[in-house]
Chains A and B, each alone.
Chain A
């Protein structure tokens, strides 16, 4: 797990692919928040199209680039969490998120983790990609 978490933290920006309400693929920048009890957490607003997309099609994939032309692909099934303590920790960990949502109980603020997550780290070294079941 720590290899994947480290990659996510270092990459700063990840790109989240979803299936749109029009059934076409969508992708936008996203930001990993934190790992807790082996789960990788992200957050968004339920006012955004991406949240409606996640509800309709919960299987998603993230991609991020790392050092030396390496890249990570992380897929899994989105599970929305209502854990207020965790929402507070995410806001404390991210000043930007805190500035947007102010409080953990902001009704627009949603957090989710990936269930059945699989990550692959690949590069051009000629070595096979590393796969992690999280």
Chain B
């Protein structure tokens, strides 16, 4: 778990792939928020297209680049959470840009989710096989 969390934190931006409501793949920049109880949390707002997509098709994959041409692929099933304490932590730890969007953990558009059945792979061009983590 730790190498995956460290990789996510260092990468700053990840790219979240979903299946669109038109059945075609979609991908946009996304940001890992925090790990809690062995779960990797992300946030969004429920007025966005991506929220509609992950509600309809909860399987997603994220990708990020790291040092020395390494890359991470993380897939799993989206599970929405209503945990107010985690929502609070996400807002507290957020950069001002995100804080300004969500404002309070009770904001009705603020949605958080974690990945269930998550698998991560870290690969590089070293010739070593990719490392796989079941989270």
Chain A interface residues (CB < 8 Å from chain B): 13, 15-19, 23-29, 57, 59-63, 65, 71, 73, 75, 124
User: Do the beta carbons of B27 and A65 come within 8 Å of each other?
Assistant: no
Chain B interface residues (CB < 8 Å from chain A): 13, 15-19, 24-29, 57, 59-63, 65, 71, 73, 75, 97
Main SS at interface, chain A: strand
Which listed residue, B25, B28, B97, touches A18 by the CB 8 Å rule?
B25
Which listed residue, B13, B24, B61, B65, touches A29 by the CB 8 Å rule?
B65
Bound Cα distance A130, B43 (Å): 25
User: Do the beta carbons of B18 and A25 come within 8 Å of each other?
Assistant: yes
User: Do the beta carbons of B29 and A27 come within 8 Å of each other?
Assistant: no
Which listed residue, A27, A57, A75, A124, touches B15 by the CB 8 Å rule?
A27
User: Do the beta carbons of A13 and B65 come within 8 Å of each other?
Assistant: yes
User: Do the beta carbons of A15 and B27 come within 8 Å of each other?
Assistant: yes
Q: Which residues of A contact B57 (CB under 8 A)?
A: 25
